[in-house]
Structure 1
């Protein structure tokens, strides 16, 4: 019987400490929405889903902690590492944090490369069995011209030229020592740090899709590429009703609204979130809210309905999909929804982890007809559009 060699431990170090000055906009590019998810979340999920990765650590700018927490909410990640003034410093800080329980291997990856695929990650890991370092890269295909004073000064031979990408993988002890030795130097990437330390670095063919989001046009390009893989477009509907009981507020779409009564029913009786949860589950063909959270189970008594909606969103993510849009209509005479509409939109977007312009909350009455018209309760209906691979 032959003993099988144990699989080496491999940590992914996601570098997300940049300010994104070239990108512009109100927030760093790694926290911008990319078809329903922040760029950083898509990057982190790619590594969490890979069987060869044993841990994922993220290096951030501490000033962006709130953005980071929102971007990775619900993901099983350790405390983020505080970055430094330059990318090289951030990587070194991340490596030092890993040194407390060092992995055998480490893959260093830019947070702004959200379309990295499993094949590329695996190929870099495999190359480390033969080389101290390995980087994802694509051969230069375009004609290269040298320029002087705005004029063509000669053709540059492109044979043997590659464009470096990430992940860049290394044996952990080697790259930690190399980064410590290079502190204070200004080197272009981790491969350059390794080369300076005399470590051979292998080139691993990657894909053009593994580009770095640097400009708003890059973000649009990334969204188009993702959309082409999510061709299974699903629509689900949901409907819910709860009666009034003694109380002094109602919870609608995750927002506490003052009222002279409360809603009675499953969990916190949030008809808006219940209808929306059923709409998403319906789009997935995954039953209804009662099959996932039985009202007979006492653990759900008084529970925050945000847990139900987040569960439905997680099911979409596990299938590699995105929530494209949701629309909720609250049906009642009172309380008035209008003054709370913006807060409801923001809360639903936060729970689902999508941009607020992908959420609609409306309200209507039944012209005093029926049980809602008589003020006996509140109803809600919802529609959810989901895109899945296929």
Structure 2
């Protein structure tokens, strides 16, 4: 266990409630999803996050289950079931709630912990990467942005009495990142002394005498604390919504590899015991090569040899999933999506049928697609041609891709 995340979702959030809302801001629907669900998505997808502990209000159990339901059954279900811990119940103050979250994950023995507000759904991977980098050299880190507005100090009557120098002022955000053992000890010590009013975890660290280091945040990573914030957030989501994928493309790929001395063939991302192996510059996965070319053909972006020439020694013996992942990336970079993949393998031997389920799962994993969008079939050439003479294997693939419509 390396890094845990605590999501603080125990507040009532009354300031951010719209007139139509009857729940706290973290459970309000934002662009069709609860705020909490949007916040969790970023942490679930991040490979450096090992477990996530949400701290909720004592009355919010059903709201929490409703908020995470799409995560537990959708594309992130595997990550959600692995990373999400049963929710902890918070206390009367944020500080108490954080301590309860820290104690709930003590059995996981994390090295680091990020503490984040549930009502900040626009945290990014870039911010998290900066936190992880800072934790390599510091015990306590605070995501923040420099203050850009002129700051005025006023008296009880609203009259300005001083203009504050903003050059050294930063606005605190979350996540706040810490050495887990240190911040748990700091929170426990504050609690034992009857102190429960710290408004953020950096203040607890400062109280313990630890220097807190700034990590660059983002103005977009704002906390939703008012109705205006929710309106702004809806606008941001609408502006960033993907365009309809109405430009439908179909590509085909065909590949052939001869047999060579060996004891197994690699097809469709798996190894199948056989009397020979397939000969090629890479691992000669005839199935993945055909799929790669089909995808590249659909987006009119050359072929596998264009991007990974066999004359380049760095690709000698390379696993073909590298080529396929690159093709998938090229589709995503265009704002597109692969709808389905249909692979046909042509050979007399080995028998493909027993390995089809494993192939489909491997291809789905490589392409980050649902397995029900992956088809693998096999046929023979009725003992005709090079495949009929058992000299090698051929593969034919078709890929359907949706892209955003571009102006002519």
Give the TM-score normalised by structure 2: 0.56
Q: Hey, what does 1:329 align to over in structure 2?
A: none
Displacement of 1:23: 2.1
Q: Hey, what does 1:90 align to over in structure 2?
A: 97
Displacement of 1:62: 2.6
* Paired residues of 1:88 and 1:187 also in contact (CA < 8 A): yes
Structure 2 counterparts to residues 67-82 of structure 1, below 5 A: 67-73=63-69, 74=72, 75-76=80-81, 77-82=84-89
* Paired residues of 1:108 and 1:169 also in contact (CA < 8 A): yes
Residue 131 in structure 1 maps to residue 138 in structure 2: yes
* Paired residues of 2:16 and 2:229 also in contact (CA < 8 A): no
Q: Hey, what does 1:180 align to over in structure 2?
A: 188
Displacement of 1:101: 2.1
Distance (whole Å) between structure 2 residues aligned to residue 96 and residue 115 of structure 1: 27
Displacement of 1:220: 1.5
Q: Hey, what does 2:7 align to over in structure 1?
A: 14
Structure 2 counterparts to residues 1-390 of structure 1, below 5 A: 9-24=2-17, 25-73=21-69, 74=72, 75-76=80-81, 77-148=84-155, 149-183=157-191, 184-185=194-195, 186-234=197-245, 286=339
SS in 1 for 2:109: coil
SS in 1 for 2:7: strand
Displacement of 1:45: 0.7
Q: Hey, what does 2:365 align to over in structure 1?
A: none
Displacement of 1:10: 0.4
The 4+ residue runs of structure 1 with deviation greater than 6 A are: none
Distance (whole Å) between structure 1 residues aligned to residue 340 and residue 138 of structure 2: 50
Displacement of 1:223: 1.9
Rg (Cα) greater in structure: 2
Distance (whole Å) between structure 2 residues aligned to residue 46 and residue 10 of structure 1: 14
SS in 2 for 1:72: helix
| C-alpha RMSD of matched pairs (Å) | 2.5
Distance (whole Å) between structure 1 residues aligned to residue 138 and residue 3 of structure 2: 15
Q: Relative to 1, partners in 2 of residues 1:71 and 1:204: Cα closer, same or farther, differing over 3 Å?
A: same
> How many pairs does the alignment contain?
242
Displacement of 1:188: 2.1
Distance (whole Å) between structure 1 residues aligned to residue 25 and residue 138 of structure 2: 33
Any idea what the Cα deviations from partners look like across 1:135-159, whole Å, max 9, x if unmatched?
Answer: 1000000001111211121211111
Any idea what the Cα deviations from partners look like across 1:351-383, whole Å, max 9, x if unmatched?
Answer: xxxxxxxxxxxxxxxxxxxxxxxxxxxxxxxxx
Distance (whole Å) between structure 2 residues aligned to residue 387 and residue 189 of structure 1: 44
Distance (whole Å) between structure 1 residues aligned to residue 403 and residue 215 of structure 2: 32
Q: Relative to 1, partners in 2 of residues 1:287 and 1:131: Cα closer, same or farther, differing over 3 Å?
A: closer
Displacement of 1:189: 0.6
Q: Relative to 1, partners in 2 of residues 1:159 and 1:387: Cα closer, same or farther, differing over 3 Å?
A: farther
Displacement of 1:67: 0.8
Distance (whole Å) between structure 1 residues aligned to residue 198 and residue 30 of structure 2: 30
Displacement of 1:97: 0.7
Displacement of 1:98: 1.0
Any idea what the Cα deviations from partners look like across 1:54-95, whole Å, max 9, x if unmatched?
Answer: 111100013111110011111322211111111100000000
Displacement of 1:125: 1.5
* Paired residues of 1:231 and 1:387 also in contact (CA < 8 A): no
* Paired residues of 1:115 and 1:211 also in contact (CA < 8 A): yes
SS in 2 for 1:182: helix
Any idea what the Cα deviations from partners look like across 1:294-317, whole Å, max 9, x if unmatched?
Answer: xxxxxxxxxxxxxxxxxxxx979x
Distance (whole Å) between structure 1 residues aligned to residue 203 and residue 58 of structure 2: 27
Distance (whole Å) between structure 1 residues aligned to residue 110 and residue 202 of structure 2: 19
Displacement of 1:232: 1.4
The answer for unaligned runs of 5 or more in structure 1 is 1-7, 237-282, 289-313, 317-385
Distance (whole Å) between structure 2 residues aligned to residue 198 and residue 109 of structure 1: 22
* Paired residues of 1:230 and 1:387 also in contact (CA < 8 A): no
